[in-house]
Amino acid sequence: MSPTLIRFEGNGAFGEQTPVARPTSAQVAMVRVAADQPIPVGTTGFWECTPGRFRRGVPQAEYSYFITGKGTFTPDGGETVRFQAGDAIYFPANSEGNGTSSKRSGRPM
């Protein structure tokens, strides 16, 4: 099996901004994706989010590496996790909670 290269081709590679699916603040976070492609264990790509608060709505397990920005995630019934550029987080399948993006955040999907 060969490796899969996921290359970011610059801001022009991103699609249109859309609101997060479940915003929880008056300032609705906007997201856009680039290089979204299937891989043997799901999909991958780049995701960018503007400042705001939202409810996590991704049922699949997810690994995220934060390229820029900072924010938080508070799992239901758990402690708040703070992240910033250079951090990585693994979200198990069906993990739910509230997220914030306090600076523009970018991460692989």
pLDDT, position 104: 61
Dihedral (Cα; 53, 96, 18, 50), 10-degree rounding = 40
Residue 98 tokens, joined: 């509230």
pLDDT, position 33: 86
pLDDT, position 98: 96
Cβ-in-10-Å burial (0-12, 13-18, 19+) of 16 comes to: exposed
Residue 37 within any structural domain of the chain: yes
The CATH number for 58's domain is 2.60.120.10
Domain that holds residue 51: 29-108
Residue 67 within any structural domain of the chain: yes
Residue 6 within any structural domain of the chain: no
- The mean pLDDT value for 24-48 works out to 84
Is residue 83 over pLDDT 90? yes
- The mean pLDDT value for 54-77 works out to 88
- The mean pLDDT value for 65-74 works out to 90
Residue 100 within any structural domain of the chain: yes
Residue 9 within any structural domain of the chain: no
Could you give the number of structural domains in the chain?
1
Residue 4 within any structural domain of the chain: no
